[in-house]
Amino acid sequence: MAEKESKNNPKDLIEAVPEEIAKLAPSEILGEEPKVIEKELTRDEMKKMEAEERKRSALVSWVPKTELGNLVKSGKEKSIDAILDHHKKILEAEIVDTLLKLESDLLLIGQAKGKFGGGKRRAWRQTQKKTMEGNVVTFSCMAVVGDRKGHVGVGLGKAKETLPSREKALRKAKLNVIKVKLGFESSEVGETEPHTVPFIVRGKCGSIRVKLLPAPRGTGLVIGDEGKKVLALAGIKDVYAVTTGQTRSTFNVAKAIIDALSKTNEMIL
């Protein structure tokens, strides 16, 4: 009996365990998977997640006011291309949010105050109106939205404050979404994604004339920085561009590019 008790004695069992095994964690001994430590999100990632959550909740609580909105809300209309091909007028921004996964950016149409007119470019353009009560300040903002798969839109918003003008610009950009036909610089073997404009297209707005030419892969966007934002959100990766006129007016440059991209659907025989 004494021998059996000594064999089952817990003290003897602890002493018999090797030092290497004793140093291991219980989860490693039992074979359980260690817990994965979640990575802390940055401030930009947190803001992006909050914006997506607000957008999702807004779509859930959306009450359509138009016939097209009711069709999209009920799931009977599922293609934005069919809506654009039939030239149906989009009057609610939620229609585009439901059918497309859009990205947005702001164009630098304004200029901060600086010595001798050398201020830094910024997204908001500030204007003043003289009245009997004093100077009335207005802020203008230009936004561009796109899914990088052949859909892009540009809109201008004006308000007495910066954030409302941005919201107006985003809403108008979604209402002005157009379809862009993408193509190749030359015939390619195999199934590959289109990367440039299908043929030479021209657009104009005011004094500005824009000419977009197909470019081979790896060329990039050979155009100004603000034009790159519009073309990139449209899904174009390579293009040559020629611009003439008062190209410092960013608003007209963006409108001319949109005019050129809208002509990609007109096949020339």
Residue 175 contacts residue 93 (beta carbons within 8 Å): yes
Q: What are phi and psi of 125, to 5 degrees?
A: -105, 125
pLDDT at 150: 92
Q: How far is CA 40 from CA 35, 48, 58, in A?
A: 15, 14, 27
The predicted model scores a pTM of: 0.78
Yes or no: is domain 201-265 CATH 3.30.230.10? Answer: yes
Count each helix (H run) and each strand (E run) in the chain, helices first: 11, 11
Using only the alpha carbons of the chain, give its radius of gyration: 29
The 8-class DSSP code of residue 20 comes to H
Cα–Cα dist 151/261, whole Å: 10
For the chain, the domains span 41-99, 201-265
At 222 the three-state DSSP class reads strand
Choose among 156, 160, 182: nearest CA to 234: 182
Choose among 146, 264, 260: nearest CA to 194: 264
Cα–Cα dist 146/77, whole Å: 20
The 8-class DSSP code of residue 32 comes to P
Cα–Cα dist 237/231, whole Å: 8
The rounded average pLDDT for each run of 10 residues, N- to C-terminus, in the chain (269 residues) is 50 52 52 52 75 80 91 91 92 92 91 74 89 91 93 94 93 94 77 86 94 92 93 94 91 94 78
pLDDT at 43: 73
pLDDT at 269: 43
pLDDT at 40: 66
pLDDT at 9: 55
Burial classification of residue 14, based on how many CB atoms lie within 10 Å of its CB (0-12 exposed, 13-18 middle, 19 or more buried): exposed
Pairing verdict, β 151-159 and 121-122: unpaired
Q: What are phi and psi of 254, to 5 degrees?
A: -65, -40
